[in-house]
């Protein structure tokens, strides 16, 4: 090895020892920041007794985006929203002017309000809530099923109607009352004096009249005129005292029962009741049509008194008439 070669080798070794052959370090690139992604809250429901209401809702959530990220919604939370469905649009925008949007709905429903709250239900055992209970599967000497009648106040249509009213008019629950003034066995022709007394004691804003079964059960078609006279007198007195009158026709009888009423008598009576309602400016409540399609479900084995489902059907029919007449606009 010559002196020159030795010198070159020594130079290379010294450069390697000093790191002269390493590549210079470069700075890392900045991390990639995705555009913002916005997620709206779910649809919001609210209720009001008026035409609009203030609705507050939660802020949307945002992920990603270069800081600072701004979020806006239109309409903003706390805005007064009208009845119906209103779309709310939200948008997130980052410092690089990238954005994303989402929408959800604010749904404002009308809370029902009723214009009158105190009710009087007047009548006989069908108002009181008597239920027919079969006692055996056999028949008596006259060929009718054995049964007994039990008064079940919680199953009566006035009690069920009060529950329906309170469930519908939720902001007026405490004020809504339905007084049950039904007396089993009482004839409509004997009830006018009691009606005057009950009316004076309770001072109802609404009177529900359902009466005449006992008269027709004993007198048939011949009793129709007398019952009509009594119903007209009661409807007129209630109206004179400022009560809104709902006059119901009679439910149909179930054939083959000991207390089954002649269908001709019921038809004649219901025709007269419709005429009375028109003359006295009363609301005509058609219980006959509401129950005639399913007698075995709605009428007990005695042929006259309703089942618990029958009383429920009567309560629902009264409610529909009340809603149509007394709901506030």
With beta carbons less than 8 A apart as the criterion, state whether 180 and 156 touch.
Answer: yes
Least trusted range by pLDDT, from 22-31, 35-44, 272-281: 22-31
166 in the same domain as 68: no
Quote the pTM value. Answer: 0.81
Q: Are residues 92 and 127 in the same domain?
A: no
Nearest to 188 by CA among 119, 306, 258, 276: 276
The backbone torsions φ and ψ at residue 323, rounded to the nearest 5 degrees and listed phi first, read -60, -45
Using the CB atoms, write b or e for 225-240: b if 16+ within 10 Å.
eebbebbbbbbbbbee
Tens of pLDDT, residues 283-316: 999 999 999 999 999 999 999 999 999 999 999 9
83 and 129 inside one domain: no
Closest CA to 182 of 152, 206, 205: 152
> In the prediction, which pLDDT does 14 show?
58
Place of tokens 């954005």: 99
For residue 285, give the nearest of 123, 149, 79, 142 by alpha carbon: 123
Range of the domain at 142: 118-326
Tell me how far apart the alpha carbons of residues 116 and 328 are, in angstroms, rounded to a whole number. 9
Domain-embedded: residue 23: no
Q: What is the pLDDT of residues 224-247, one digit of tens each?
A: 999 999 999 999 999 999 999 999
Final residue of a domain: which of 110, 127, 154?
110
- Domain of 246, CATH number, reads 3.40.50.1110
> Are 244 and 204 in contact, with CB atoms under 8 Å apart?
no
- Give which of 217, 215, 235 is closest to 225, Cα–Cα: 215
pLDDT for 62? 97
Best CA proximity match to 241, nearest among 278, 196, 193 = 196
Q: Closest Cα to residue 257, out of 212, 213, 210, 308?
A: 213
Give the count of domains, the chain: 2
Dihedral sign, Cα of residue 248, residue 249, residue 255, residue 260: positive
95 shares a domain with 142: no
Domain membership of residue 13 (yes or no) is: no
The larger pLDDT score, comparing residue 32 to residue 230, is at: 230
Angle between helices 308-326 and 157-168 (to 10 degrees): 50
Q: Which two tokens stand for residue 239?
A: 């109206």
* Residue 119 structure tokens: 């009710």
Helix and strand numbers (H, E) in the chain are 10, 15
**Structure-token match 């106040």, residue found:** 153
Q: Does the residue 201 lie in any domain?
A: yes
**The two structure tokens encoding residue 86:** 């209103």
Tokens of 224: 């129709």
Asked whether residue 296 falls in the same domain as residue 220, the answer is yes
Domain stops at, among 54, 80, 110: 110
Task: Give the distance between the most distant pair of CA atoms in the chain.
Answer: 151
CATH number of the domain encompassing residue 103:
2.60.40
Per-residue confidence band for 12, with pLDDT thresholds at 50, 70 and 90: low
pLDDT band at 136 (very low <50, low <70, confident <90, very high): confident
State yes or no: pLDDT of 11 exceeds 60: no
CA distances from 236 to 229, 230, 232, 324 (A): 11, 10, 6, 22
Q: Do residues 180 and 128 touch, judged by C-beta distance below 8 A?
A: yes
């Amino acid at each position: 090895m010559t002196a020159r070669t030795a010198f070159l080798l020594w130079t290379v070794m010294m450069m390697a020892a000093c790191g002269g052959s390493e590549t210079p370090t470069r700075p890392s690139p900045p991390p990639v920041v995705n555009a913002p992604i916005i997620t709206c809250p779910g649809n919001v429901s609210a209720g009001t007794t008026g035409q609009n209401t203030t609705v507050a809702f939660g802020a949307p959530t945002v992920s990603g985006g270069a800081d600072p990220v701004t979020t806006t919604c239109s309409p903003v939370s706390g805005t007064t929203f009208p009845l119906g469905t209103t779309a709310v649009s939200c948008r997130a925008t980052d410092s690089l002017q990238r954005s994303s949007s989402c929408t959800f709905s604010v749904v404002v429903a009308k809370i029902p309000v009723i214009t009158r709250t105190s009710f009087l239900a007047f009548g006989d055992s069908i108002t009181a809530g008597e239920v027919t209970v079969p006692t055996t599967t056999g028949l008596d000497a006259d060929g009718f099923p054995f049964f007994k009648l039990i008064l079940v106040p919680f199953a009566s249509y006035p009690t069920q109607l009060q529950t329906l009213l309170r469930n519908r008019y939720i902001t007026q629950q405490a004020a809504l009352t339905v007084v049950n003034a039904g007396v089993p066995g009482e004839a409509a022709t004997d009830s006018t004096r009691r009606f005057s007394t009950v009316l004076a004691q309770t001072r109802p804003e609404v009177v529900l009249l359902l009466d005449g079964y006992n008269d027709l059960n004993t007198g048939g078609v011949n009793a129709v005129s007398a019952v009509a006279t009594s119903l007209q007198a009661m409807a007129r007195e209630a109206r004179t005292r400022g009560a809104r009158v709902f006059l119901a026709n009679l439910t149909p009888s179930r054939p083959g029962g000991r207390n089954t009423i002649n269908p001709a008598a019921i038809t004649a009576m219901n025709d007269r009741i419709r005429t009375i309602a028109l003359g006295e400016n009363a609301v005509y409540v058609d219980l006959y049509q509401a129950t005639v399609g399913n007698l075995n479900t709605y009428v007990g084995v005695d042929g006259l008194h309703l089942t618990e489902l029958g009383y429920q059907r009567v309560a629902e029919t009264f409610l529909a008439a009340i809603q149509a007449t007394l709901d506030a606009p």
